[in-house]
Structure 1
Amino acid sequence: MIFRTATREDLPAVLALLADGGEVRAAVGEAQERAFAAIEADARNEMMVLVEGGVVLGCLQLTYIPGLGQSGRERALVEAVRIRADRRGGGMGAELMRLAVARARERGCGLVQLTSNKERADAHRFYERLGFARSHEGFKLRLAD
């Protein structure tokens, strides 16, 4: 398996992974093109994919946030974690997260954080098995549909 930065050619596969989670439609539209270009152009954002045999099987987005806490080190925010439905349960998600944590560590981050929908009990157990702790209560304010 290869863990690498996503390219524009990976965008349809990444959107298909996200659609499986009910977040976005799989078709590549203008808004997704703009968002991907913005991620690609921003040194503090990375869309990463896990590829095997040329097929995108997983993805996640890493955003590096500067801050005064953590002795001035960045924190890495992990979002949009997905593994293709037919490959779940075989350790691929754990490997994807292990690689993301290693990437954040190599960058010098002092912390890796993520949020997960409160109703996703299986995901919570998964993240806890990987060493993540429930340390904060999250809040969101939706500004657009």
Structure 2
Amino acid sequence: MDSVVVRPSSGKDIPMILGLLYELGRPKPQKDSEVETFRKLVTKYVKDSDKTILVAELDSVRIIGMVSVVYLSRLNQSTLEMYIPELIVLEKYQNNGTGKKLINYCITLTKEKKCHRIRLESGNQRKESHKFYEHLGFEQSARSFTLNLD
């Protein structure tokens, strides 16, 4: 989609960012106070110099996707690693190049920051996402293990 522009997020994007996270299956606030807590978490994330959130905006009006980025130092590398915790495109706008635009913007950032790689995780059930990442040149390189503490 030529009318989709990727840009760094701003404070006004927070409600749409939260909506995209809910679409991905992230926890939704159960009380009004939790909405404010989530807003503060996103605001803090954006203000951290080692993190960023990029949004894909359609026709300069509607946010239809986002990617969150964390720059990590590794003990065995002299350059940073870009880690992508979330990449989301609204289902209605998937398969039209928006996800690729988001990843390409990330690749541009890795060159500016001189990162040695981009790493991301994708849930086992997200088979279409796996095909998308492989199509873009990503390789499955590890297994992820989780210990939930709640």
TM over 0.5: yes
3-state SS in 2 of match to 1:82: strand
Aligned residues: 143
**Equivalent residue for 1:21?**
24
Give the conservation status (yes or no) of the 8 Å contact 1:15–1:24. Answer: no
TM-score, normalised on structure 2?
A: 0.87
**Equivalent residue for 1:125?**
131
4+ residue segments displaced more than 4 Å: none
1:43-62 mapped onto 2 (5 Å cutoff): 43-53=49-59, 54-62=61-69
**Equivalent residue for 1:111?**
117
Give how far 1:140 is off: 1.6
3-state SS in 2 of match to 1:11: helix
Uncovered stretches (5+) of structure 2, i.e. residues with no partner:
none
Q: Report percent identity of matched pairs.
A: 23
Give how far 1:143 is off: 2.6
Alignment RMSD: 1.7
Q: Matches of 1:102 and 1:123 in 2, distance apart?
A: 21
1:1-145 mapped onto 2 (5 Å cutoff): 1-25=4-28, 29-53=35-59, 54-70=61-77, 72-144=78-150
Give the conservation status (yes or no) of the 8 Å contact 2:71–2:80. Answer: yes
Give how far 1:91 is off: 1.6
Q: Matches of 2:123 and 2:47 in 1, distance apart?
A: 28
Give how far 1:60 is off: 0.8
Tell me which of the two structures has the higher relative contact order, counting C-alpha pairs closer than 8 angstroms and 6 or more residues apart.
2
Uncovered stretches (5+) of structure 1, i.e. residues with no partner:
none
